[in-house]
Structure 1
Amino acid sequence: MPRFYFDLREGTRFVSDEGGIEFDSLDAAEHHAAQTAAEIGRDKLPSRHACETIVEVRNEHKQRVITVAVSMRIQRVSPLPEPPEDERPPPHPWSA
């Protein structure tokens, strides 16, 4: 059974997988990489420290064969838009 290695990149952080995991096929390794990236992303991406998680899969010859990237971008509009005229509260009678 072929062995695959799952390296992790988060910003400038890189963790190399030295042990690897055996899978029946490249498809199975791809599924594992996608699940891993999604799980890490779910836990880490809402923080302001990491905006992208990348899992790079290498084969038994240490050649990169798959890259899975999960990213999240949160963008706030500033200044906030005003509500439409018909949804604004009426002016206070004493403010003029």
Structure 2
Amino acid sequence: MPRFFFDTYDGERFFPDEVGMELESIETAKTEGQKALPDMAKDALPDGNFRSFVVSVRDESGQVVLRMALSLVVEVGCADA
């Protein structure tokens, strides 16, 4: 099974994945990365009004094969809420 590494960036700090996970396919890696994004946002609420959370997935050769991001925007005084 191929090994994928999930490097994360929470808008302030970069966390390289040195261990990785053995997964069946790149599609499975995509699902795992997508599941991580909301947890990252929940654990690191922004001090300001905007923060982006990023997961970069590398394969065993170190090449980035997927990159996904989630942006959290806080808008104050919005009439359309």
The aligned residue for residue 3 of structure 2 is 3
Correspondence 1:72-87 to 2 at 5 A: 72-77=72-77
Indicate if the aligned counterparts of 2:10 and 2:40 stay in contact, CA closer than 8 A. Answer: no
Per the TM alignment, residue 11 of structure 1 is displaced from its structure 2 partner at its CA by 2.0
Per the TM alignment, residue 55 of structure 1 is displaced from its structure 2 partner at its CA by 0.6
Q: Does 1:48 align with 2:56?
A: no
What per-residue deviation string (whole Å, max 9, x for no partner) do you get for residues 23-57 of structure 1? Answer: 00000000000001121112323x32671110100
The aligned residue for residue 13 of structure 2 is 13
Q: Which amino acid aligns with 1:48?
A: D
What per-residue deviation string (whole Å, max 9, x for no partner) do you get for residues 40-79 of structure 1? Answer: 112323x3267111010001111001111111101113xx
Gaps of 5+ in 2: none
Per the TM alignment, residue 15 of structure 1 is displaced from its structure 2 partner at its CA by 0.8
Specify the structure having the higher radius of gyration (Cα): 1
Question: 1:28, 1:38 → 2: CA distance?
Answer: 17
Question: 2:65, 2:42 → 1: CA distance?
Answer: 24
Question: 1:26, 1:38 → 2: CA distance?
Answer: 20
Q: Secondary structure at the match of 2:33?
A: helix
Larger RCO, structures 1/2 (Cα 8 Å, 6+ apart): 2
Aligned length: 78
Query: If each structure's strand is expressed as a fraction of its own residues, which one has the higher value?
Result: 2
Correspondence 1:62-77 to 2 at 5 A: 62-77=62-77
Gaps of 5+ in 1: 82-96
The aligned residue for residue 28 of structure 2 is 28
Of all paired residues, the percent bearing the same amino acid is 32
The aligned residue for residue 59 of structure 2 is 59
